[in-house]
Amino acid sequence: MIFLDNAGTTKMFEECVKTYSFYSCQEFYNPSAVTKVSAKIGAEINDVRSLILKKLNAFEGTIIFTGGATESNNLAIKGSMRGGDYEYVFSSGEHPSVLNVAKTLEMQGKKVHFVKLKEDGKIDLDDLKSKLNSKTRLISTIFVSNETGAINDIKEISKLREKFAPNAILHIDAVQGFMKIPFSVEDFKVDLLTFSAHKFHGPKGVGGLYVRKLSLIKNIVDGGGQEYGLRSGTENVPAIMALKTALEKIDVKQNFENAKNLKEKFNEVISKENGIKILNFAGSPYIESLVFSGVKGETMLHALEENGVIVGLGSACSSKKAGNRVLEQIGITKNDIISSCRISFNAYQTVEEIEKAGEIIIRVYNDIKKRVT
């Protein structure tokens, strides 16, 4: 099976599986207990926080471990809310775990602004500028689009925040960027940043939120006070330690180049078929979409799976719903959206594997076209 839905999830490294097993069966102690063995586990978790800060190129701040990106995004947004006449700004290209929180705030009577996307999939900075003011409490935007791969200019967004909404908190959903795209938190000047381990070959069920200053957010769940009181509940030690193993194994810059090469080789093959259009937004080398003229994307998805290739239909959190709101906003026609599939690579796939996938995609597409025309 050739897996081309790596934006949805990635295969866990075998080394991570071993780490997970070790901390589940040998070093299984609760880090919140007062025994020496528990204190040792607590210290090891703090070492993981330090490693993540290093990977983020962060000179200050801490890491709050959560159950994944959805929880981290909820903590960032809901935890930063305060009473008063505040406004909240979100891009229109957000993952459902951000967009649906924003809609909830709107239904609760909060003043919420949604920033338009341009045709290249990026945030319209002029529109963002028009929605910022002294009352802005939070700006929340995705770093790398999970739908298109478009990379937002966080530096410019941060500059606009400093100029027009200097008291606002800046939150970045970096799920498709962390450990994939080289960047620095210090360059971005962000306050909160979300990541998820299973997007970079770690385990499912663990993620985190980078917090520049703990005073910026409050807890949204009451409990025993773990994670600096911001995320109560016994830490998922096996998953956190397996996450560390993934961090230690990955070379972000090398993987970035590997992914670029894979995408180029794949597109060389796909370009041989005129009926398949590549939606490439010159962003992340890990993500793009294909439009299959005359064939529904869902039909292609199921047919490809039968032929040993797995692709996606966009965010797994919303892929069962009709249409694609992100592609709609950037001007992709309804017919093209219906005929599209998301392709996403991982840096450890081989050129031979990717080229084979491209050939299978073309063959399956032509087989279906013969039957439907």
Q: Which residues are catalytic?
A: 317
Indicate the pairing of strand 207-211 with strand 62-66: antiparallel
User: How many other CB atoms are there within 10 angstroms of residue 350's CB atom?
Assistant: 11
Q: Give the closest residue to 267 by CA, choosing from 357, 349, 347, 337.
A: 357
Q: What's the rounded Cα separation, in Å, for the pair 311 and 295?
A: 15
Helix ranges, the chain (H):
14-25, 36-55, 69-80, 96-107, 125-130, 154-164, 185-188, 237-249, 252-270, 297-306, 325-329, 334-338, 351-372
Distance CA 20, CA 153 (A): 36
CB 216 within 8 A of CB 191: yes
What angle separates helix 237-249 from helix 14-25, to the nearest 10 degrees?
Answer: 150
SS3 state at 344: strand
Residue 311 CB neighbour total at 10 angstroms: 23
For residue 123, what is the DSSP state? B
Q: Helix (H, G, I), strand (E, B), or coil: what is residue 294? A: coil
79's tokens: 């935890």
